[in-house]
Structure formats: structure tokens, C-alpha cells
Amino acid sequence: MEANVVDHTSMWSLVANASVVVQLVMLTLVAASVTSWIMIFQRSTMLRAGRRALEAFEERFWSGIDLSKLYRQAGSNPDPDSGVEQVFRAGFKEFSRLRQQPGVDPDAVMEGVGRAMRVAISREEEKLEQSLPFLATVGSTSPYIGLFGTVWGIMNSFRGLASAQQATLATVAPGIAEALIATAIGLFAAIPAVIAYNRFAARSETLIGRYYTFADEFQAILHRKVHTSEE
């Protein structure tokens, strides 16, 4: 008898005996949780790689290497994880193109360089924020989806209780327990997604800030170079 009671109140038994609507809610939340965890690992790996690539490129950039040589090296062996490298290549490419055109004003050259680097930074920002909307959606909607499953399950429990001849706690408890599992799964999906969203948003903002800082420093170097050559 005791074994049957344990089996009846086990987690899997409660899920298996839940109504179709509650089971669909649970399945949706589990799928959202698995997808969000996959994105969390992917984003975490990408951000770590981006930070390491940023530090490595800045070390090469400030080592005193010739900018033309650095541009050729970056073009021959590009690093897809290095956002700052993309910013550098975009700025130096536009700088070289405008300098080759006769009669171009130095201020126009620097304006074009700044515009090219801002476009490159915007593209890197889009890449860094690619999965954030999904994580935000999972974090904000999963508790409500789980709550919907809970409310639906409790409604079915009370409907069954109304038709029962003898209402006892043992009659209602399994239905309420299986309904509350939906809320638990919703929280399980939402909490990691919210934490990951806040963490990735902060890290992405930090990287983008460093890209803008590099762009300003690089633009200052090019500004001195273009005005020195004009004198």
C-alpha cells in the first residue's frame, strides 16, 4: 500500500496524470528552458572569446606595429570573434580609400572614418545582443505561462471535487500538486533566463564601451597622421 502511495505522488506520476492543457504548458516551459540554456552557453562562450580577442588585439595594436602591417595581418587571418578587429579594419579601410582620392579634405577623411567605425560597432552590437530578446521573453513570460497551467489544473481539481460524493484532502491534493508543478517549471525556466539576460547585457555593454573607446583612440591617431601629412 505504501509503495502505491509513493508512486501515485511521485513527480513523474503527477505530470503523467495532469490534464492535456497542463501537460502542454509544462512541455512548452521545458522547451523554452532547454533553448534558453543552449543560448546561455553559446552567449557565454562568445562573450569570453570576444573579451580575450579584444585584449589580444589591443596588445598588438599598442605594441608599436605599423598600422598598414596590422591591417594586412588582420585581413589575411581575420578573427571572427574579435569585434574590435572589425572596427579597426573598417576604419583603416575607409581611411586608406579616402586618402587615395585627390583633393579630399582631412576633416572629410576623419568624418568618413568615424562613420565607418560606428557602422562596424553597430554590427558588433547586434551580434552581442542577438539572443537577449529571447532570454528576456522567457524570463518575463514563463512565470505567467506556468501560472496559467496552475490555474487550469486547480480549476479541474475543484470541478472534480464538486462531483465527488465525499470531499477529502486526499482527493484534492494530487490535482493541486500536479497543477503547482507548472508554476515550478515556469520559475525554473524564468530565473536562469533573467540572471543570464542581466549578466549578458552588462557584459555586452562593457564590450561595446571598450569598442567605442578604441575607436576614439584610433581616430585620434589617424587624425594626427592625416594632419601631419598635410603640413
* Mean per-residue pLDDT over the chain, rounded: 84
2 vs 105, more confident: 105
Q: Which pLDDT score, from 0 to 100, does residue 1 have?
A: 39
Contact at 8 Å (CB) between 196 and 36?
yes
pLDDT at 9 over 60: no
Q: Which H or E element spans position 102?
A: none
pLDDT at 2 over 70: no
Q: How confident is the model over 115-144, as pLDDT tens digits?
A: 999 999 999 999 998 889 999 999 999 999
DSSP state of 195: H
Question: Which region holds residue 103: left if phi is over 0, alpha if psi is between -120 and 50, else beta?
Answer: left
pLDDT at 35 over 70: yes
Q: How confident is the model over 151-169, as pLDDT tens digits?
A: 888 887 777 666 656 656 5
pLDDT at 213 over 50: yes
| pLDDT, mean of residues 44-56 | 92
pLDDT at 13 over 70: no
pLDDT at 34 over 90: yes
What is the SS3 string spanning 141-180? HHHHHHHHHHHHHHHHHHHHHHHCCCCCHHHHHHHHHHHH
pLDDT at 222 over 50: yes
pLDDT at 16 over 80: no
How far apart, in whole angstroms, are the C-alpha atoms of residue 34 and residue 10?
A: 23
Residue percentage of the chain with pLDDT more than 70: 84
